Structure 1
């Protein structure tokens, strides 16, 4: 089975747990995923089945969207509610105060990765160091918060919910902690639901239970999306029948003989390459006035 299956990951499962379960459900040994979710998180987890795993190194960077629960006045070692409490504050914030600090977290900002993260420092994962009680200095990293909205906030419990659209590499639990700090208190993330990733949304997703039921009925393939759906952010170019054969055999195409001949293209520009029958052949990349093969994606049953 080849293609993309969008899962609605349940709480308590790691991303690898979902992969392990779906290997049995789909009867497909080769499965990868496009982005790790912490065990407490739920929501959109795209799985790459079969030869679709070949797409992983070439996925375009796309923003992700989340709904995150948070609580002010509390700090934990993991920056979320699963961690050990390390500090508490009696400072209380109003909704107006909370709304007033959010603008400073929108746009291009710098964020310090949490100790409980997969970031490597001097060849060691931060979470490995954190589990040994070691804290090291981390460099701030640039991220982008495209949208940050307060969906609800209960002043009595100091708890609320945020809607966030952000760039790859953003830690939502760190965002909650930083917002707390901006208010003169602490903050932890209490829940996280990813509502969009890699261009897919919850409306595309199935739960583990739904996937198992579909598989039992022999209908799981109905929810498998084509590999091309991963790359819709890249423009498409349709080539001739002869060019399709050449490209499929690994040959670069002379741009002057394609529909891109009059376009001003820089090296590194990427395109979805389609046959005259509108069949997705693979990804092409502009190199020295040619459209070179970046990766071929033969249809299931192909030989490449």
Structure 2
């Protein structure tokens, strides 16, 4: 089986746990996830099967959308509700107007420091492993991330429910903490649900139980999405049958071996089809106004 399963990850499971479960259900070893989702968070987690694992990194690089809740006045060592409380402050005086004003400051490109309890590696060790061993004085490099959109959905007492669309590598836990720090009272993330990962949406995600039942009913293939599904931003190009063998052997294909119906840019990555079947990601080369094609990732 080759393709992608849009899984609705439950709370209490790591992304690796989900991969292990899918390996058992699908009875195959070549399975991978497309970006870690906190064990205590739920939501969209695309899982790649077989040859689709080659495309996992491209899905990982896509923007993500979350529904999250932050609770004001409390800070924890993990920046979420599962850590130890390290500080409490009165936040009753914070007005809704002030909350909206501060949230607006965190829209756009921001500098963010990942939590100490995270899967980032420092000197070959996961940060959460170091933290659990008492090494909390590790220097964590800050990074530039993009908060494309952030909207408050509800404010109830000291809890703020919001939706955020962010770039790869953005930690919503850190975002909650930084907003709390900006308000001067601290905050932690009390809820997190990932609703989108690239063009994978929670509305068409399946639970592990649904996938397991589909496998028992010999209908698992019906739940698998094509490898080219995440490549919505890529243009298409088709190979003539006569050029397929040379292309699959890594040779550059000249214009006479291609079926062209779009304009392309030099070095542009494209989806490659043969008889309407997706077979590769290719790279366009423009030479003397002629279009050439070289394989970039093969899925055959």
Q: Could you tell me the TM-score, scaled by structure 2's length?
A: 0.91
Question: For residue 198 of structure 1, what is the aligned residue in structure 2?
Answer: 198
Contact 2:3 2:49 in 1 (8 A): yes
Name the CA distance, whole Å, in 1 between partners of 2:162 and 2:255.
47
Instruction: String of CA shifts for 1:49-70, please: whole Å, max 9, x gaps.
Output: 1222122345472110000121
Question: For residue 270 of structure 1, what is the aligned residue in structure 2?
Answer: 269
Q: What secondary structure sits across from 1:188 in the alignment?
A: strand
Instruction: String of CA shifts for 1:57-99, please: whole Å, max 9, x gaps.
Output: 4547211000012101000000000001100101332222111
Name the CA distance, whole Å, in 2 between partners of 1:216 and 1:81.
37
Name the CA distance, whole Å, in 2 between partners of 1:101 and 1:149.
12
Name the CA distance, whole Å, in 1 between partners of 2:284 and 2:192.
39
Question: For residue 302 of structure 1, what is the aligned residue in structure 2?
Answer: none
RMSD over aligned Cα atoms? 2.0
CA 72–102 in structure 1, closer or farther in 2 if over 3 Å, else same: same
CA 15–184 in structure 1, closer or farther in 2 if over 3 Å, else same: same
Contact 1:248 1:281 in 2 (8 A): no
CA 228–243 in structure 1, closer or farther in 2 if over 3 Å, else same: same
1:142 aligns with one of 118, 141, 144: 144
Q: Which moved more, 1:161-170 or 1:115-124?
A: 115-124
Q: What secondary structure sits across from 1:228 in the alignment?
A: coil
Gaps of 5+ in 2: none
CA 259–219 in structure 1, closer or farther in 2 if over 3 Å, else same: closer
Q: How far is the alpha carbon of 1:248 from its aligned partner?
A: 2.6
Query: Aligned residue pairs: how many?
Result: 294
Name the CA distance, whole Å, in 2 between partners of 1:60 and 1:13.
19
2:281 aligns with one of 280, 283, 286: 283
Q: What secondary structure sits across from 2:230 in the alignment?
A: helix
Question: For residue 170 of structure 2, what is the aligned residue in structure 1?
Answer: 170
Q: How far is the alpha carbon of 1:258 from its aligned partner?
A: 4.3
Name the CA distance, whole Å, in 2 between partners of 1:209 and 1:262.
43
Q: Does 1:81 align with 2:81?
A: yes
Name the CA distance, whole Å, in 2 between partners of 1:235 and 1:68.
34
Q: How far is the alpha carbon of 1:103 from its aligned partner?
A: 1.3
CA 60–251 in structure 1, closer or farther in 2 if over 3 Å, else same: farther
Question: For residue 187 of structure 2, what is the aligned residue in structure 1?
Answer: 187
Question: For residue 301 of structure 1, what is the aligned residue in structure 2?
Answer: none
Name the CA distance, whole Å, in 2 between partners of 1:202 and 1:219.
21
Q: How far is the alpha carbon of 1:38 from its aligned partner?
A: 1.0
Q: How far is the alpha carbon of 1:255 from its aligned partner?
A: 5.2
Question: For residue 109 of structure 2, what is the aligned residue in structure 1?
Answer: 108
Q: What secondary structure sits across from 1:7 in the alignment?
A: strand
Name the CA distance, whole Å, in 1 between partners of 2:256 and 2:282.
15
Contact 1:60 1:231 in 2 (8 A): no
Name the CA distance, whole Å, in 2 between partners of 1:60 and 1:271.
18
Contact 2:35 2:60 in 1 (8 A): no
Question: For residue 295 of structure 1, what is the aligned residue in structure 2?
Answer: 297
2:154 aligns with one of 143, 152, 155: 152
